[in-house]
Amino acid sequence: MAISRRKFIRSSIAAAAATSIQPFSLNATTNSPVVSKISDDRFDPWIEVDPTALLHNISEVRRLTKGRPILAVIKNNAYGLGLSLAAKILERLPEIHGFAVVKLEAAIVLREAGIKKPIHLMARFPQSAAKDIANQNIQPSIIDEDALEFINPMAKIFGGSVPAQVYLDTGMSRMGISYRRAMPLLKKIANNGKVSFQGVFMGFTEEPDFDKEQLKRFLSIVNKSNKAGIQLGTLHAASSSAVFDFPDAHLDMVRPGMALYGGYPNDPEKQSQLGTLKSTINLKARVVRVQKLRKGDSVSYGRNYIADKPTWVATVPVGHTDGFPRKAVEGAKVLIGNKTYPVIGAVSASHSIVEVGNKKSVQVGDIVTLIGSGAPEVNPNWISAKTGASVYDLFMHLNPSLPRVLI
C-alpha cells in the first residue's frame, strides 16, 4: 500500500520542457560528488540525474498552478539529486523564483556554488551566524519573538533593512510564530524599521479539512497586517501536496519539493490523474555475480528465500546503506536490460539479490536500474505503492556519497 506524505510524517512545463540544457561546471562545492561520466567497468552504485525529467515536472507544476512562480524546496540534498547539481539546473529557468532550504549549511553551500537567485532559510539559525547570512545575502525567516536580536546586527551589514520572510504557525505546531500572537510581533518589527518583508509563509498539516482552517488563519493575519499598513510581501503556502490537492492555497507563489523531483506526495493513483511526474533520478549499479541455485539452496540473511527448483540468481552491489530500502523484498523489481526481476532474500547493507529464473539471462557487468525510469516497476512511486516504503525515503535516503552524473 502506498505511503502518503501524511503517513510518512506520522511514522518517522510545456515551454520549460523545450529548454535546452547547456553544460555547466560540475566542480562546485556540493553534498554529493558530481562526475561527468561513469566508467564502463564500474560495479559500485551511482546515481544518474535526468534534467529533462526535472523540466517536465516543473512544467506540470506550472500547469497545475496556472503559471505561479516556484520557490523550489531543495532541502535534504535536493531530495537525493545532489544539492548544487540540482540548483544549477533549476537556477537558469525563469519559472524558478529561488530556493528554500532548512539547513544553514545548505544555504551557504548554494552560495559558494555560485547560485545567485534568492535563497530562503526556513529555519532558526544561531545568532553567531547572522553576519554570515547577511554577507551571503540569504533571506532569513522571522520565526519567534526574539527576531530583532538577530535582525539588528544583520541590518548593519546590509546597510539598511534586512530582506526577511515571516514564518507563521497556523496549526502545524512545528516552527514559526503562532498566528494567535503574530500581530503584536509584526507591528513591533515593522516599527523597528530594519526589516524589509519579502514574504510570509506557512506549512499545512495535510489533513484536508484542517488545511482549510489553516489557510483561513493565515489569510486573516495577512488581512490584519494590510489594514495595519504592514505589507508582508509574497504569500506562499502550497507544498507539493497542496499543488495537487488544494488550489485555493496556490496564492502568489508555490513551494514544491518532492513533486519537482518526481514523487507524488500523497496519493499516486489520484494525483497521477492530475499531473504526470517523471523520476529525476536513477539508482544504478552492475551485476557482480550470477549463480545457479540448486533446489533447497537459500539466499541472504534469514533464509527468507529457498529455491524450490534450480534457479539462477544475480547479486547487485547495492544495499540499504545506498538508499535501496529493506522493504524492496516485499515486491520490488529491478531492471536489467529490457526485463525486470524480483528482489529476493533480504536487502543487506551493501548487496541485493534478484531472481533471474530458469535461464541465465543476465551476465556479470550488466547494468541494473534499481530506482528510476526505464520500466514502470522501477519508478519510485511504483516501488512505494508496491512495498509500502515511503517515496520520501526512496529519494532522500539515497547515499550522498554516491557519485551523481548528469545524463
**Cα→Cα distances 222→172, 213, 226, Å:** 18, 14, 6
**pLDDT at residue 268, rounded to an integer:** 93
pLDDT digits (tens, 9 = 90+) for 261-309: 999 999 999 999 999 999 999 999 999 999 999 999 999 999 999 999 9
Give the three-class secondary structure for 250: coil
Q: Helix, strand, or coil here: 44?
A: coil
Q: Which DSSP symbol is given to 229?
A: T
Instruction: Kindly tell me if the per-residue pLDDT of 231 is higher than 60.
Output: yes
Contact 299, 313 (CB under 8 A): yes
Confidence band, pLDDT 50/70/90 cuts, at residue 158: confident
Mean pLDDT of the chain, nearest integer: 92
Poorest-confidence range of 9-13, 53-57, 204-208?
A: 9-13
What are the pLDDT digits (tens) for 237-257? 999 999 999 999 999 999 999
Q: Say whether 198 sits in a helix, a strand or coil.
A: strand
Q: Give the C-alpha separation, 231 to 222, whole Å.
A: 8
Query: For the segment 139-150, what is each residue's pLDDT rounded down to a tens digit?
Result: 999 999 898 888
Q: Are strands 404-406 and 46-49 parallel, antiparallel or unpaired?
A: parallel
Residue 88 has pLDDT above 90, yes or no: yes
Q: Where are the alpha helices (DSSP H) in 45-201?
A: 51-64, 75-79, 83-91, 104-112, 130-135, 147-158, 182-192
* Phi, psi (rounded to 5 degrees) for 405: -130, 135
Q: How far apart are CA 235 and CA 253, in angstroms?
A: 6
Please write the tens of the pLDDT for every residue from 356-398.
Answer: 999 999 999 999 999 999 999 999 999 999 999 999 999 999 9
Q: For position 1, what pLDDT does the model report?
A: 46
Q: Given pLDDT bands bounded at 50, 70 and 90, which one contains residue 4? A: low
Domains and CATH numbers, the chain: 51-270 (3.20.20.10), 281-406 (2.40.37.10)
User: Model pTM?
Assistant: 0.91
Task: State the amino acid at position 277 in one-letter form.
Answer: L
Amino acid identity for residue 392 in this structure: Y
In the prediction, which pLDDT does 131 show? Answer: 87
What average pLDDT does this structure show over 101-126? 96
Q: What angle do CA 17, 19, 25 make, to 5 degrees?
A: 120
What pLDDT does residue 29 have?
A: 39
High-pLDDT (> 70) share of the chain, %: 92
Alpha helices by DSSP H, 113-245: 130-135, 147-158, 182-192, 208-227, 240-245
Poorest-pLDDT segment among 47-61, 120-134, 329-343: 120-134
